[in-house]
């Protein structure tokens, strides 16, 4: 039946209705807090960004952030919102001071939208502004005004207090993870030397900017001391180590642009040019950039981002009528790095040796790579290891960000997921048996080993993760010993050869249920023993209980409960003090007696300790 398209079909929504109906336009995905880019962290960021903008304009040197029982509070000590405009700033779209470039010259917030999104998506939202002994407060629920105070006297310091509770109707059973908040806070202080942020009583500050950022985040020593250079509106830091891949941290006006943009592209291009010019050799860009860890921060007037979540810079120019981002960064890189290398010959020699080693390895595997690529194309056609999704035939970039590939083992498991997946956005890659333990092997193995070669081809990461075909890579294995072993072998492969996939937040573990418990009225899928005991009591006498032994036993109809919008994904993350090299050497190396003794000593706790290292889901 075709719907009737008439005047009644045309609707005009109020601001809060539109935000709640289309939250993805304002905060990206919703999520439950398990991933760093989930919506609850975007809400916190939108509020904190306003306080950061105050600091950048020279007002207020501290920010207090508190999270308790889902209630979030952010208190800055800047100028405070003009009291007569507190209500408008909190509830009228496209209202704010960021349109006046004299008041906020190089800010993150531009359109007066972010704080309204927080308001609309919170079950409780409060803003109090204090200016020169006077204050005003407004309170909302889901964007609806509950109370507005008169202006009253106060002895509080100038500034703004914003508190909110994300709406459970929108975000479900969400929770804030302290490590995710701390990562955000650390980035703020790295980019704003002199700023002190207190998170739940713990203070964070940085004296050395991006140098501190790299020192805190690198899990191994660089081959040479970190090169740290800064100029007006730009700061860079970088070094190389012995790992595969490239690692970048890029920022614009204090905003972490996790998807890069024009500034990061300009940095990569400029670095290649200056290295080629300095050594007077036409090195391949991949040989120059492989194993690099770099951070870049620039300040831009009226930046243009590709979405409200501000994760990718689209600006072509540093300022209206100013130089292009490409030229601005290129000129700085050309002069500063060339000068540094001329003054530090020892570093220049180490860097040259590293580039030459990368070049040698690349050339050694070039012929194998060509044969492997041809083999992977044939295998994909005839073996149907990859069941792709339709989204890749759509040129809409934002849609591509929603694409997911499940890596599973065995025909039965891959068949069930294939039948129950969303064919528009979800793909399936089927492994044949256990993959090879790749620890300690060279990248040559990626092309010589059929399974790894086909997996790499399916992900389209032969030339690096910038060409990654799927935004989310989900390891879906059985919840048993064999499934855990396959999971660890895959993690070893990614950590060894493509660590960028993990550091950029692309890799996840699918939690699949251990039990199905049901009575005549209700069916529940249970993920651990504690949940099982609780469900058994709540569902009354003699409920039916089924223990799932593997993914292949779960029917496609049931799988729809686990791989839809509510699927439980645990992101694979590395903490700042984790050493990938040490971890892989102990758990995947050749020290079998040491591991055997470890298992004997810890037996029931071995799995938990492994999960703590990589923050894998307990009991899975």
What's phi and psi for 449, nearest 5 deg? -85, 125
Shared domain for 195 and 214, answered yes or no, is no
Domain boundary among 180, 204, 228: 204
Helix axes 345-383, 325-343, angle to 10 degrees: 130
Shared domain for 292 and 191, answered yes or no, is no
How many separate domains does the chain show? 4
How much is the pLDDT for 99?
Answer: 39
Shared domain for 280 and 325, answered yes or no, is yes
463 lies in some domain: yes
Using the Cα atoms of residue 89, residue 93, residue 99 and residue 104 in order, give the sign of their dihedral.
positive
Shared domain for 198 and 224, answered yes or no, is no
pLDDT of 482 above 70? yes
CATH code, domain with 104: 3.30.565.10
Mean pLDDT calculated for residue range 208-226: 91
Select from 149, 65, 33, 51 the least CA-distant residue to 108: 51
How much is the pLDDT for 566?
Answer: 65
User: What residues are paired with 76 via a beta bridge?
Assistant: 63
Binning pLDDT at 50, 70 and 90, where does residue 36 land?
confident
How much is the pLDDT for 1?
Answer: 52
Shared domain for 148 and 20, answered yes or no, is yes
Name the least confident of 96-105, 265-274, 431-440, 554-563.
96-105
80 lies in some domain: yes
How much is the pLDDT for 440?
Answer: 83
Name the least confident of 39-53, 237-251, 417-431, 518-532.
518-532
503 lies in some domain: yes
Cβ burial of 255 (10 Å; 0-12, 13-18, 19+) is buried
pLDDT of 396 above 60? no
Domain boundary among 171, 204, 237: 204
The 10s digit of each residue's pLDDT in 526-537 is: 888 888 888 888
- 600 contacts 606 by C-beta, under 8 angstroms: no
Binning pLDDT at 50, 70 and 90, where does residue 577 land?
low
The 10s digit of each residue's pLDDT in 41-79 is: 989 999 998 898 888 888 889 999 999 988 999 999 999
**DSSP string computed for 425-448:** TEEEEEE-SPPP--TT--THHHHH
Shared domain for 31 and 76, answered yes or no, is yes
DSSP class of 4: P
Name the least confident of 211-215, 242-246, 594-598.
594-598
pLDDT of 4 above 80? no
CA separation for the pair 208, 193 (Å, rounded): 7
How much is the pLDDT for 201?
Answer: 92
Residue located via tokens 């890799």: 507
5 lies in some domain: no
CA separation for the pair 63, 50 (Å, rounded): 11
Shared domain for 269 and 280, answered yes or no, is yes
Q: For the stretch 387-400, what's the b/e string if a residue is b when 16 or more beta carbons lie within 10 angstroms of its beta carbon?
A: bbbebeeeeeeeeb
CA separation for the pair 325, 267 (Å, rounded): 10
Shared domain for 107 and 131, answered yes or no, is yes
Domain range for residue 114?
16-204
Mean pLDDT calculated for residue range 551-563: 79
% the chain with pLDDT above 70: 84
pLDDT of 94 above 70? no
- The Cα-based distances of 48 to 42, 187, 296, 522 in angstroms read 10, 12, 21, 42
Shared domain for 52 and 76, answered yes or no, is yes
4 lies in some domain: no
- 511 contacts 617 by C-beta, under 8 angstroms: yes
Shared domain for 148 and 131, answered yes or no, is yes
The 10s digit of each residue's pLDDT in 287-322 is: 999 999 999 999 888 777 776 566 778 767 777 777
280 lies in some domain: yes
10 lies in some domain: no
Shared domain for 467 and 484, answered yes or no, is yes
pLDDT of 257 above 60? yes
% the chain with pLDDT above 90: 35
Shared domain for 58 and 115, answered yes or no, is yes
pLDDT of 137 above 50? yes
CATH code, domain with 219: 3.30.230.10
- The pTM score is 0.73
Domain boundary among 189, 204, 219: 204
The 10s digit of each residue's pLDDT in 346-373 is: 999 999 999 999 999 888 887 777 776 6
- The Cα-based distances of 325 to 190, 309, 620 in angstroms read 22, 21, 46
How much is the pLDDT for 319?
Answer: 72
598 lies in some domain: no
CA separation for the pair 472, 29 (Å, rounded): 13
């Amino acid at each position: 039946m075709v719907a009737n398209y008439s005047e009644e079909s045309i609707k005009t929504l109020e601001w809060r209705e539109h935000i709640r109906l289309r939250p993805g336009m304002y905060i990206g995905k919703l999520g439950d807090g398990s991933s760093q880019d989930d919506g609850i962290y975007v809400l916190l960021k939108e509020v904190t960004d306003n306080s950061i903008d105050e600091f950048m304009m020279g007002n207020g040197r501290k920010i207090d952030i508190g999270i308790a029982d889902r209630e979030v509070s952010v208190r800055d000590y800047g100028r405070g919102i003009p009291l007569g405009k507190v209500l408008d700033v909190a509830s009228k779209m496209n209202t704010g001071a960021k349109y006046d470039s004299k008041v906020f010259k190089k800010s993150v917030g531009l359109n007066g939208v972010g704080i309204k999104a927080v308001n609309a998506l919170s079950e409780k939202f409060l803003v109090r502004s204090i200016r020169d002994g006077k204050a005003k407060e407004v309170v909302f629920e889901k964007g609806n005004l509950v109370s507005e105070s008169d202006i009253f006297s106060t002895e509080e310091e100038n500034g703004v207090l914003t508190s909110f509770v994300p709406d459970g109707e929108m975000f479900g059973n969400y929770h804030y993870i302290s490590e995710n908040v701390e990562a955000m806070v650390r980035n703020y202080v790295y980019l704003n030397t002199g700023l002190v942020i207190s998170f739940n009583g713990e203070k964070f500050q940085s004296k050395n900017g991006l140098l501190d950022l790299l020192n805190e985040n690198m899990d191994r020593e660089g081959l040479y001391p970190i090169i740290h250079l800064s100029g007006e509106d730009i700061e860079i830091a970088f070094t190389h180590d012995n790992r595969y891949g490239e690692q970048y941290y890029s920022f614009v006006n204090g905003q972490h642009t996790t998807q890069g943009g024009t500034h990061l592209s300009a940095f990569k291009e400029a670095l290649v040019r200056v290295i080629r010019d300095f050594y007077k050799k036409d090195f391949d860009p991949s040989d120059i950039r492989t194993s690099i860890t770099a951070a870049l921060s620039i300040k831009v007037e009226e930046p243009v981002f590709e979405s409200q979540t501000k994760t990718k810079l689209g600006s072509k120019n540093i300022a209206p009528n100013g130089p292009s981002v490409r030229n601005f960064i290129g000129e700085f890189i050309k002069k500063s790095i060339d000068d540094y290398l001329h003054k530090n010959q020892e570093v220049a020699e180490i860097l040259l040796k590293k580039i030459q080693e990368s070049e040698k390895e690349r050339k050694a595997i070039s012929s194998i790579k060509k044969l492997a690529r041809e083999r992977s194309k044939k295998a994909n056609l005839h073996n149907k290891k990859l069941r792709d999704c339709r989204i890749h035939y759509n040129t809409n970039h934002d849609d591509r960000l929603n694409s997911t590939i499940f890596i599973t083992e065995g025909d039965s498991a891959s068949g069930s997921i294939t039948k129950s997946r969303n064919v528009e956005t979800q793909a399936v890659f089927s492994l044949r048996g256990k993959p090879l333990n790749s620890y300690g092997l060279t990248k040559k193995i990626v092309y010589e080993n059929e399974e790894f070669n086909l997996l790499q081809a399916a992900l389209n990461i032969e030339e690096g993760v910038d060409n990654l075909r799927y935004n989310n890579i989900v390891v879906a294995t059985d919840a048993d010993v064999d499934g855990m072993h396959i999971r660890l072998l895959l993690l070893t492969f990614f950590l060894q050869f493509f660590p960028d996939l993990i550091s950029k937040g692309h890799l996840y573990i699918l939690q699949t249920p251990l039990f199905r418990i049901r009575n005549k009225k209700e069916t529940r899928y249970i993920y651990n023993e504690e949940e099982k005991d609780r469900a058994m009591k709540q569902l009354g006498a003699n409920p039916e209980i089924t223990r799932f032994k593997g993914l292949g036993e779960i029917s496609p109809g049931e799988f729809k409960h686990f791989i839809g919008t509510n699927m439980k994904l645990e992101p694979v993350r590395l903490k700042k003090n984790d050493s990938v090299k040490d971890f892989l050497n102990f758990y995947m190396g050749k020290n079998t007696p040491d591991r055997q003794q470890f298992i004997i000593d810890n037996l029931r706790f071995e799995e938990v300790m492994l999960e703590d290292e990589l923050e894998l889901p307990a009991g899975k």
